[in-house]
Amino acid sequence: MKKASAPALSVVAVLVLAASALVWWLLRVPAPYALSRTPEVEVTVRPVKSRYPEAGEVAGQVDLLLKVYVQRLEAGDTAELSELGAPWYTGRDAAARKLITRYGAHAGDAVQAVVQDPAVPNLASVELRFGDGQRQTLGLSRDHDDVWWLQLGDGDPVAP
C-alpha cells in the first residue's frame, strides 16, 4: 500500500477546512433584517481607538444593523424601526416613534457610527454622529444566535 505524500495530505486538509467553512456559512442564522432599496444612507461604522480588539470585532458584526437603523430612521417607518428592537423588549413601537421624532430629520446626511469598547460580552454601545452635529447613543444586545438588536423599549438588555 502506498503512503500519501505530505503535499497531498495538506491539500486534503485545506479542502476539508474549506468545506467546513462553507457548511458553517450556509447553516448560520442570517440577520432577520436587511437594507431596503430606499432611502439610500451613508453610514461609516468604525471602532473607537482602543488597545483592545473587541470594539473592532463588534463594529464588523453590527455594521448592517446600524445601516438599517439609520435607513429606517430616515424613512420614518415606525413599524420597521421597531422590528430592529430586541424581541425580548416591550414598548418597541412607542420607542421607535420617539426616535423618529427626535433623530429622523438628522439621518439624511452622512452618519458616523463609533462602536465603544464593550464592557461585557453580548452588549455594545454605539455613538452615532449625524452630519449636522447631532449625536445619539445606542445600546445593542446580542442574542444566543449571535444576532445583534437595538435595546429599544423596556427590558433586560441580556437575552433570555
Its pTM stands at 0.79
Q: Which residues contact 66 (CB under 8 A, 6 or more apart)?
A: 43, 45, 113, 126, 128, 138
Residue 18 in any domain: the answer is no
Residue 13 in any domain: the answer is no
Q: How far apart are CA 128 and CA 135, in angstroms?
A: 6
CATH number, domain of 102, equals 3.10.450
Residue 30 in any domain: the answer is no
Domain count, the chain: 1
Mean pLDDT, rounded, for 115-140: 93
In this predicted model, which residue has the larger pLDDT, 14 or 148? Answer: 148
What's the pLDDT score for residue 16? 59
The number of helices, as runs of H, and strands, as runs of E, in the chain is 4, 5
Residue 92 in any domain: the answer is yes
Residue 46: what are its φ and ψ, rounded to 5°? -145, 155
Q: Over the stretch 99-122, which tens digit does the pLDDT of each residue have?
A: 999 999 999 899 999 999 888 889
Residue 6 in any domain: the answer is no
Q: Name the 3-class secondary structure at 113.
A: strand
Closest CA to 112 of 42, 62, 52, 56: 42
What's the pLDDT score for residue 22? 45
Q: Over the stretch 21-77, which tens digit does the pLDDT of each residue have?
A: 444 444 455 688 889 888 889 899 999 998 878 889 999 999 999 999 999 999 999
Residue 2 in any domain: the answer is no
